[in-house]
Amino acid sequence: MLGHLIPHTSYLNSERMNRNLLIIFTRNPELGKVKTRLAKDVGDENALTIYNILLRHTKKITENVNAVKQVWYSENIKETDLWSTGNYQKHLQLGNDLGARMQLAFQKGFQSGYQNIIVIGSDLYDIQTKDINEAFDALEKHGNVIGPAEDGGYYLLGLTEMIPELFENKPWGTDEVLQKTLQDLSSNNYELLEEKNDVDYWSDIEDIPIFQEVLKQHNNL
């Protein structure tokens, strides 16, 4: 009898997927247009190679997350790329700044009926699948979740309802973003995740073998 009373695991996973949405913000990988601060250290070609490694890492750690997944492109939607349409929905970012673009993505997600929505970028080598799963678990308990970055920004934001002020009047790309975002969250329940380091400069990744190999191969050409 108990077997008829306890929901099957696959059913529970399906129910969770139907209410969870993972938004991945990416830049189209074009020479001279990605990781521009990193490019000042290693050159445009190496910066593009490194960004493509970061994209592949982001795909690897998100493809098995139990959520509907959307990739939001910065310039134009690529129908045939590493983000397979069978596993990732594709959208185009719109808005005058990062805040407006994220706000639009969250609004569309909530309007589509998702209850737990998380946005991440595609330039973090430290993040793993378990970090995203734990963030969705935190949303169930706390309603909001944020992953602080070492540079004063954040690498992950999760909401269960729209909070428009989180996306407004922020000095995007500066070390004040996290502080001002937490001020806007101060009257809400939220969980702060482990601090991680996103990739902006060579010093952020110079000790990681896969990136050392990029420069080694380039210097041997």
- At 201, give phi and psi (nearest 5°): -130, 160
In the predicted model, what is the mean pLDDT of residues 10-38?
83
Task: Give the separation between CA 41 and CA 62, rounded to whole angstroms.
Answer: 29
pTM: 0.90
Interval 142-194: pLDDT, tens? 999 999 999 999 999 999 999 999 999 999 989 999 999 999 999 999 999 99
Give the tokens for residue 153: 């920004």
Which of 3.40.50.720, 3.90.550.10, 3.90.1150.10, 1.10.579.10 would CATH assign to domain 2-219? 3.90.550.10
Averaged confidence pLDDT in the chain: 91
pLDDT above 90: residue 17: no
Give the tokens for residue 95: 């808005």
3-state secondary structure 53-112: HHHHHHHHHHCCCCCEEEEEECCCCCCCCCCCCCCCEEEECCCCCHHHHHHHHHHHHHHC
The pLDDT score that the predictor gives to residue 217 is: 78
Cα 146 from chain centre: 11
Pairing between strand 68-73 and 144-148?
unpaired
